């Protein structure tokens, strides 16, 4: 079953990669294309799911347990990350001809207006937020595993 | 005009991507271990699925952004653009997968809770059945032992009366100087002692009332109805009671009868529609104390009525099919009879007939207290020892 699924997915991937240009004529991440909307909605759905997960855990009063508390905080940061991403993508795809000065590692972005500033901040956030979110998720699971092991006779 | 370095963006991109990949892989290792240890735990399964989603996300997200930076750095390349779009698409899909898995968690939680509740219910029911079974076993054992003891006492007493009576007669007829007189006196005295022992034993066996006590059926029924009143009120069911004016005292086991009656009333409540009526009556019919429970519920077809007392037969979801079996066993242990009369759409009437003052066999209580040789004068029965 897994092999069969892997073969199909690989096939789809190869087809997409080597497909004629017109098949991908519309960019997925250029504002206004269908792909961009799909991506933004996917982020919003991800955000809603994280909020729902937090709500479900709080509803069950699971925050009393340390492991679940870490999960709640991890999910909260992920929810924030999704909103940050939606804003970041909107700004990124809306930037018209951003001016980049310099070369290589010393490249610098010309801060022409507020949008450029916001783009710069959200771009850093986009990865900076993921680190604590995934750390807390991992930590939550670790605590849950330890607690469940100590419960096992 | 201000310029800002792009280096921090790249730095966080590399650091973030690597950290996310490492943490998600470590998380996957934990969830894999948890699911391997307890494969049927819904929470571990969900967290494993979610973590798998996070691992795919960490890869596709990192690749997608790295490709973007490579394109920015080295300039546009058609195949890199296409590859970036593929990973970007995969990114969008994986967000949806993560969301779907998370939203499904709620359903899983509900199912899991329901399963746990059912599990607890089953455990409780099996404990109750076990306790009831033990009680029934003890009851049957005690009844059998009691009856055996009384039977033995009855069996020993009759020949003893004969031995005692005749030894006294012989004593009266024997000459005072006869050397056999002493032997006869000993026989008469020993017979009397055995007779006293049997009497004590018999009274002890009769007095043993740990399972069957002198109890009033009316009060057992009314106490049970009081306990079940909230269930009747919850369905707005009218309860009509009609008790026999005199107390229906018999040797009953109040606890077991309450179990049986509450089961029957609960069945009636379940079968009766809201604002329906349940009638409970007690009366005396010849030598029987009679209890009837009548409901205005949906009733049962004849084929179901025939199987009501068959073990494990049930029409209820989650039912054990043992309730009515126990009810009949309880009635049987009281030497009673239970009958069911049901008509579809009109309701069911359950009738329990318990022998009035059924307890011990009457002939034992009325066993001859005097020997056949009762005519023997008291002085001689005293014997000389």
Interface confidence (ipTM) of the complex = 0.78
Residues of chain A contacting B25 with CB distance shorter than 8 Å: none
Query: Quick one: pLDDT at residue B66?
Result: 82
The model's confidence at residue B359, banded by pLDDT at 50, 70 and 90, is very low
Residues of chain A contacting B4 with CB distance shorter than 8 Å: 108-109, 111, 120
Query: Quick one: pLDDT at residue B377?
Result: 39
Contact A138 B7 (CB under 8 A): no
Q: Is the minimum CB–CB distance between B36 and chain A shorter than 8 Å?
A: no
Left if phi > 0, otherwise alpha if psi is -120 to 50, otherwise beta: which for B50?
alpha
Residue whose token pair is 């009314």: B222
Q: Is the minimum CB–CB distance between B26 and chain A shorter than 8 Å?
A: yes
pTM: 0.54
Query: Quick one: pLDDT at residue B385?
Result: 27
The model's confidence at residue B293, banded by pLDDT at 50, 70 and 90, is very high
Contact A52 B3 (CB under 8 A): no
Dihedral Cα B90, B96, B102, B105, nearest 10 deg? -110
* pLDDT digits 0-9 by tens, B295-324: 988 888 888 888 888 877 777 665 666 778
DSSP B30-97: HHHHHHHH-TT-HHHHHHHHHHHHHHHHHHHHHHHHHHHHHHHHH---HHHHHHHHHHHHHHHHHHHH
Contact B103 A17 (CB under 8 A): no
Query: Quick one: pLDDT at residue B184?
Result: 86
Nearest Cα of chain A lies from the Cα of B120 at a distance, in angstroms, of: 19
Task: Check whether B367 has a pLDDT greater than 90.
Answer: no
Q: Which residues have CB under 8 Å from A8's CB, separation 6+?
A: none
Contact B225, B242 (CB under 8 A): no
The residue of chain A nearest to residue B3, with distances taken between CA atoms, is A110
Nearest by CB to B27, which of A50, A141, A148? A141
Tokens of B53: 């989603």
In the predicted model, what is the mean pLDDT of residues A79-100? 86
Q: Which residues have CB under 8 Å from B11's CB, separation 6+?
A: none
Residues of chain A contacting B99 with CB distance shorter than 8 Å: 42, 45-46, 48-49
Nearest Cα of chain A lies from the Cα of B325 at a distance, in angstroms, of: 38
Contact A49 B85 (CB under 8 A): no
The model's confidence at residue A14, banded by pLDDT at 50, 70 and 90, is low
Window 47-106 of B: residues touching A by CB (8 A cutoff) are 47, 51, 54, 58, 65, 73, 78-79, 81-86, 88-89, 91-93, 95-96, 98-103, 105-106
Query: Quick one: pLDDT at residue A151?
Result: 61
The residue of chain B nearest to residue A112, with distances taken between CA atoms, is B1
Contact B20 A130 (CB under 8 A): yes
Nearest by CB to A127, which of B12, B33, B91? B12
Q: What is the mean pLDDT of chain B?
A: 81
């Amino acid at each position: 079953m897994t092999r069969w699924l892997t073969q199909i997915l690989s096939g789809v991937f190869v087809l997409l990669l080597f497909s004629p240009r017109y098949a991908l004529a519309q960019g997925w991440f250029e504002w206004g294309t269908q792909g961009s909307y799909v991506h933004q909605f996917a982020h919003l759905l991800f955000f809603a799911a994280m909020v729902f997960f937090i709500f479900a855990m709080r509803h069950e009063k699971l925050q009393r347990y340390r492991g679940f508390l870490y999960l709640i905080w991890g999910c909260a940061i992920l929810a924030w990350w999704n909103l940050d991403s939606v804003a970041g993508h909107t700004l990124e795809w809306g930037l018209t001809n951003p001016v980049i000065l310099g070369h290589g590692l010393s490249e610098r972005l010309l801060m022409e207006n507020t949008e450029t500033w916001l783009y710069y901040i959200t771009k850093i956030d986009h990865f900076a937020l993921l680190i604590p979110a995934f750390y807390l998720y991992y930590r939550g699971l670790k605590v849950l595993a330890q607690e469940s092991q100590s419960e096992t006779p | 005009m201000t310029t800002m370095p792009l280096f921090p963006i790249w730095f966080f991109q590399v650091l973030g991507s690597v950290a996310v990949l490492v943490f998600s892989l470590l998380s996957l290792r934990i969830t894999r271990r948890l699911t391997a240890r307890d494969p049927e735990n819904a929470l571990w399964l969900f967290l494993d699925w979610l973590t798998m989603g996070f691992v795919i996300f960490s890869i596709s997200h990192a690749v997608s952004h790295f490709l973007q930076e490579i394109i920015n750095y080295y300039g546009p390349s058609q195949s890199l653009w296409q590859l970036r779009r593929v990973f970007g698409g995969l990114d969008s899909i994986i967000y949806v997968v993560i969301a779907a898995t998370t939203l499904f968690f709620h359903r899983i939680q509900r199912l899991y809770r329901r399963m746990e509740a059912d599990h607890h219910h089953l455990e409780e029911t099996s404990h109750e059945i076990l306790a009831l079974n033990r009680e029934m076993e003890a009851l049957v054992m005690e009844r059998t032992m009691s009856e055996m003891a009384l039977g033995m006492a009855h069996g020993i007493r009759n020949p003893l009366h004969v031995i005692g009576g005749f030894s006294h007669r012989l004593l009266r007829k024997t000459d005072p100087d006869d050397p056999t007189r002493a032997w006869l006196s000993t026989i008469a005295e020993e017979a009397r002692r055995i007779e006293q022992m049997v009497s004590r034993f018999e009274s002890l066996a009769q007095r043993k009332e740990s399972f069957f006590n002198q109890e009033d059926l009316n009060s057992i029924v009314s106490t049970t109805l009081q306990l079940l009143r909230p269930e009747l009120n919850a369905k707005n069911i009218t309860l009509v009671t009609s008790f026999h004016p005199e107390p229906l005292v018999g040797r009953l086991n109040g606890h077991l009868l309450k179990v049986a009656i509450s089961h029957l009333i609960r069945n009636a409540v379940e079968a009766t529609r809201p604002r329906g009526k349940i009638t409970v009556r007690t009366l005396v019919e010849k030598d029987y104390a009679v209890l009837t429970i009548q409901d205005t519920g949906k009733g049962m077809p004849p084929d179901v009525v025939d199987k009501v007392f068959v073990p494990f037969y049930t029409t209820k979801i989650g039912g054990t099919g043992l309730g009515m079996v126990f009810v009949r066993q309880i009635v049987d242990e009281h030497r009673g009879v239970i009958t069911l009369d049901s008509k579809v759409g009109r309701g069911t009437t359950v009738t329990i007939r318990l022998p009035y003052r059924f307890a011990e066999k009457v002939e034992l209580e009325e066993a001859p207290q005097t020997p056949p040789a009762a005519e023997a004068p008291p002085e001689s029965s005293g014997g000389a020892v």
